[in-house]
Amino acid sequence: MDSSPPTKRRRKTKSEGTNDKSPSSPVVVFAHGAGAPSSSDWMLRWKEMLKNALDAVEVVTFDYPYIAGGKKRAPPKAEKLVEFHKDIVKKTTDKYPAHPLILAGKSMGSRVSCMVAAEVDIDASAVICLGYPLKAMGGAVRDETLLQLTVPVMFVQGSKDGLCPLEKLETVCKKMKSHNELHVINGGDHSFKIGKKHLQTKGSTQDQAEDLAVQGVSSFVSRCLKGK
């Protein structure tokens, strides 16, 4: 887990502060999105939330080569990141061979995670997609990888995410071979940010909305692991 100082958004659970994890505790490989590295505030916050909610032995984050070391280059096509991502996954499973593998990603990282999960030599128990970028820049629906998957997938999507119109995702989900679930963050954008007026209307907070999403992820992963 990151060593940054606690903030007002920090969630604490009874699993914090202990390294005594059972073999049923998953290890998570968590990939960043196209525009920000693993050290971004968003990634650090969700890394901690996933670790606590899933009682994970570790949440492994990393930077793709195009953005590592503070580079500001445009990302390559997602397919070109698969081998690097797979290498991270294999090193992680070699380190934690007794623990179930969960792949997670934000935006582009979730798309590459699905590509990695589709590889025959990767044994993932589930994939968590946080803001899946279903719609390409030109408007085409990028569903090829999703339709190939046999690994259970959970989508967490903002209802106002322009990169993933919910009606298009729901149509794809019905076509998928793998078990899949969808948690919608009402009013959320591509990074789940909810406008103040929407929160006031609903009498809710950003933290509460994200907590509900993380609870949904935790329940989904728990069901997946019990089904193994």
Quick: pLDDT tens for 208-218.
999 999 999 99
List, for residues 85-100, the tens digit of each pLDDT value.
Answer: 999 999 999 999 999 9
Identify the CA nearest to 58 among candidates 35, 86, 29, 38.
29
Q: Which residue shows structure tokens 């090193």?
A: 91
Q: What is the pLDDT of residue 228?
A: 58
Q: What is the largest CA-CA distance in the chain?
A: 48
Is residue 149 within 8 Å of residue 126, measured between CB atoms?
no
| pLDDT attached to residue 16 | 39
What's the confidence (pLDDT) of residue 23?
72
The confidence band for 5, taking pLDDT boundaries of 50, 70 and 90, is very low
With b meaning 16 or more CB within 10 Å and e meaning fewer, what string describes 58-71? bbbbbbbeebeeee
Q: What are the helix (H) ranges across the chain?
A: 41-54, 82-95, 108-117, 144-148, 166-175, 196-202, 206-226
Mean pLDDT of 106-133: 97
Instruction: Give the C-alpha separation, 162 to 181, whole Å.
Output: 20
| Per-residue confidence (pLDDT) for residue 113, from 0 to 100 | 98
Say what the pLDDT of residue 133 is.
97
Q: What is the pLDDT of residues 14-46, one digit of tens each?
A: 333 334 567 789 999 999 999 999 999 999 999
DSSP string covering 82-113: HHHHHHHHHHHHHHSTTS-EEEEEETHHHHHH
pTM of full prediction above 0.85: yes
Which residues, including other chains, have CB under 8 Å from residue 166's CB and lie 6 or more apart? 157, 159, 182, 184
pLDDT the model gives residue 15: 37
Provide the percentage of residues in the chain whose pLDDT is more than 70.
90
What domains can you pick out in the chain, each with its CATH number?
27-227 (3.40.50.1820)
Burial 6-45 (b: 16+ CB within 10 A, else e): eeeeeeeeeeeeeeebeeebbbbbbbbbbebbbebebbbb
